[in-house]
């Protein structure tokens, strides 16, 4: 896969980056080099390699999901400028 000048300009427009005409060829070369490296990854034999989410083997510590705090909504909204039925009231921002 290779990137042409029109694609470089389109990528710049989508990324909201101004690319001057004299810079197009430089970016085209850089993007083609990057894509070349990505294509090389397709040549790596990964058969039998398990997916991983960390470079070191580890397991997440688990805990029981239980409520340890709460039950006092009046105190939560005590300092609110405006509240009703233990809910914060905010001004309407969308018409």
pLDDT one-digit tens code per residue, 33-64: 999 999 999 999 999 988 888 888 888 889 88
User: What does the mean pLDDT of the chain come to?
Assistant: 91
Record the pTM.
0.51
Q: In a 10 Å sphere around its CB, with 0-12 CB exposed, 13-18 middle and 19+ buried, how is residue 28 labelled?
A: buried
pLDDT of residue 43: 92
Question: 20: which 2 tokens?
Answer: 């001057």
pLDDT of residue 89: 94
Asked if CATH classification 2.60.40 holds for the domain at 5-41, the reply, yes or no, is no
Q: Where are the alpha helices (DSSP H) in 42-92?
A: 73-76
Grade residue 70 by pLDDT with cuts at 50, 70 and 90. confident
């Amino acid at each position: 896969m290779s990137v042409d000048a029109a694609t470089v300009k389109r990528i710049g427009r989508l990324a909201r980056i101004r690319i001057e005409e004299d810079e197009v060829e430089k970016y085209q070369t850089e993007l083609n080099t990057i894509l070349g490296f990505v294509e090389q990854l397709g040549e790596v034999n990964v058969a039998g390699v398990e997916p991983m989410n960390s470079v070191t083997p580890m397991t997440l510590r688990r805990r029981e999901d239980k409520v340890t705090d709460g039950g006092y909504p009046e105190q939560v909204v005590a300092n609110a400028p405006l509240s009703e039925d233990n809910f914060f009231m905010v001004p309407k921002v969308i018409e």
